[in-house]
Amino acid sequence: MILEGKRALVTGGAVRIGKAITQALQAAGVEVVVHYRHSRGEAEALSDYAVCADLSSPDDCADLIRMAGSIDILINNASLFTKDRLAGSTPERVRREFQVNLFAPLELTRRFADQTNRGAVVNLLDRRIRANDPSCLPYAISKKGLEELTKLTALELAPGIRVNAVAPGPILPPPGDSGDGFAEMAGKVPLNLFPTPENIAEAALFLLQADYCTGQVIFVDGGQHLLGNGV
């Protein structure tokens, strides 16, 4: 795909990794619709096209593609992360995490495919899809489900729409965390390098331009996924 002149929707595109992807797309000549929930000021500072939607609401998910208008690229970046082990994984908490991390990308991809038969989707996963981390059970399952959705929709929507994914490792401390001790908390990284949001954006843009790739997952984690649970 030649990016110049294309139009993209980036969910959660105003802050953190989403902001880096938005800015990388804009630098490549893409007009970006920035989705946000709370970060209105940041979204409007980045783009003239900023749309508010609550991805925990199925109704908002159904409307988001319509509000965004015609697009060539969908980046499913927005996610919800909580540290819930089994005991805390009540049906309500699990549904909330699945809605944002899995059901919203599914609905957005479905509606994207309804409006066009050409384009590309990139889903944001997590290196935990190659590990079993019981400390964030709903999140881990939802991201593993999104990997399977990536593969299934890649088959379903070929050859016109390509669907790929990027699986980041530890990038930034959670919002509100000062970052003290982040490297220790993030665990072992074989390359002894922590990727940046810009590294994630580079991988996303590669997948958008790689017309021969679909159903692929690129890990941008310094090799951490190779360790499985040994992190």
Distance of alpha carbon 53 from alpha carbon 55, whole angstroms = 6
| Among 80-89, 129-138, 199-208, the range of highest mean pLDDT | 199-208
Mean pLDDT of the chain: 92
* Catalytic residue check, 139: yes
The two structure tokens encoding residue 21 = 């992807």
Task: List domains and CATH numbers for the chain.
Answer: 7-227 (3.40.50.720)
Express each pLDDT in 153-182 by its tens digit: 999 999 999 999 999 998 866 555 555 544
User: Could you tell me which of 213, 209, 211, 214 has the C-alpha nearest to residue 28?
Assistant: 209
Q: Is the pLDDT of residue 51 over 60?
A: yes
- Evaluated on CA atoms 130, 136, 138, 143, the torsion sign reads negative
Question: What does pTM read for this prediction?
Answer: 0.92
pLDDT band at 41 (very low <50, low <70, confident <90, very high): very high
pLDDT band at 186 (very low <50, low <70, confident <90, very high): low
Strand order, beta sheet including 161-168: 50-52, 31-36, 7-10, 73-76, 119-124, 161-168, 217-220
Percent of the chain with pLDDT over 70: 93
pLDDT number for residue 231? 61
